[in-house]
Amino acid sequence: MTSLKLTAAFGTLALLSRVSAHGIVSGIVANGAWQSGYDPSFQYSNPPPVVAGWSIPQVSDRGFVSDYTSPDIICHKGATPGGSYVSVAAGDSIELQWTEWPESHHGPVIDYLAACGDDCTTVDKTQLLFNKIDEAGLNNGDPAPGNWASDDLIANNNSWTVTIPSSIAPGKYVLRHEIIALHSAFDAGGAQNYPQCINLEVSGSGTDKLGSGTKGTELYTAQDPGILINIYYPTVTDYIIPGPALLDGSSSGSQPSVSASASTASASATSVAPSAATSSISTTSSSVSVEITASPAKPSAVISPTDDLPSSGPTTITDSDSVSDATTTLESSSTITVTTTVTPTASQPEETECSSAPDSFPAPTTDPPVAPTDTPAKPPGFPPRPSDTDGATDVQPTPLPAPVPAPAPESSTTAPVSFTSTVTGRIGKPTRFVCYIDDDEFTLSPA
Is a pLDDT exceeding 90 seen at residue 215? Answer: yes
Q: Which is it for strands 109-115 and 171-181: parallel, antiparallel or unpaired?
A: antiparallel
Give the C-alpha separation, 437 to 441, whole Å: 6
Q: How many CB atoms lie within 10 A of CB 357?
A: 6
Average pLDDT over residues 167-177: 99
pLDDT confidence of residue 399? 57
Question: Of the given ranges (297-306, 411-420, 423-432), which has the lowest mean pLDDT?
Answer: 297-306
64 or 18, which is more confident: 64
Q: What is the dihedral of CA 426, 427, 430, 434, to 10 degrees?
A: -50
Res 255: pLDDT:
77
Per-residue pLDDT tens digits for 315-350: 433 343 433 343 333 333 333 333 444 444 444 444
Please tell me the predicted confidence (pLDDT) of residue 131. Answer: 99
On the question of pLDDT at 261 being above 50, the answer is no
Q: What is the pLDDT of residue 257?
A: 56
pLDDT tens, position by position, 67-97: 999 999 999 999 999 999 999 999 999 999 9
Q: 243 or 11: whose pLDDT is higher?
A: 243
With CA atoms as reference, report the closest residue to 120 among 181, 177, 176, 77: 176
The C-alpha atoms of residue 308 and residue 143 are separated, in whole angstroms, by 15
Rg (CA), the chain: 50
* Higher pLDDT, residue 4 or 368: 368
The mean per-residue pLDDT over the stretch 339-368 comes to 45
**Backbone φ, ψ for residue 67 (5° rounding):** -90, 110
| Rounded (5°) CA angle 174-34-73 | 30
Q: Which residues have a Cβ under 8 Å from the Cβ of 121 and sit 6 or more positions away?
A: 81, 82, 83, 84, 199
Rounded to the nearest angstrom, the gap between the alpha carbon of residue 252 and the centroid of all alpha carbons in its chain is: 34
Specify the higher pLDDT residue, 229 or 273. 229
Kindly tell me if the per-residue pLDDT of 43 is higher than 60: yes
pLDDT at 253 over 90: no
CB 288 within 8 A of CB 279: no
- pTM of this prediction? 0.57
Residue 331's pLDDT is what?
A: 38
Q: What per-residue confidence (pLDDT) applies to 250?
A: 84
The string over 241-277, giving b where at least 16 C-beta atoms fall within 10 Å of a residue's C-beta and e elsewhere, is bbbeebbeebbebebeeeeeeeebbebebebeeebbb
**Residues paired with residue 192 on neighbouring β-strands, in sequence order:** 181
The pLDDT, as a whole number, for residue 73 is 99
**What are the residues whose beta carbons fall under 8 Å from the beta carbon of 416, sequence distance 6 or more?**
436, 437, 438, 443
How many Cβ atoms sit within 10 Å of the Cβ of residue 423?
11
Average pLDDT of the chain is 73
Per-residue pLDDT at 222 exceeds 70: yes
Strand partners, 169: none
Distance CA 434, CA 354 (A): 70
- How many other CB atoms are found less than 10 A from the CB of residue 391? 7
Considering only CA atoms, which of 63, 62, 57 is closest in space to residue 38?
57
- Which residues fall within 8 angstroms of residue 168, CB to CB, at 6 or more apart? 90, 113, 202, 204, 206, 208, 210
- Does the pLDDT value for residue 7 go beyond 60? no
Report residue 417's pLDDT band, with 50, 70 and 90 as the boundaries: low
In this prediction, residue 111 carries a pLDDT of: 99
CB-facing half-sphere around the CA of 5: CA atoms within 13 A: 2
pLDDT digit string (tens) for 236-250?
Answer: 999 999 999 999 988
Shortest CA distance to 212 belongs to which of 117, 288, 114, 81?
114
Nearest-angstrom CA–CA distance, 102 and 17: 8
Distance of CA 165 to the CA centre of its chain: 42
User: Which of 25-29, 53-57, 301-305, 437-441 shows the lowest mean pLDDT across its residues?
Assistant: 301-305
User: Quick one: DSSP state of residue 246?
Assistant: B
User: Could you count the other beta carbons within 10 Å of the beta carbon of residue 190?
Assistant: 20
Task: Give mean pLDDT, residues 31-44.
Answer: 97
Which domains are present in the chain? 2-258 (2.70.50.70), 260-344 (no CATH), 417-446 (no CATH)
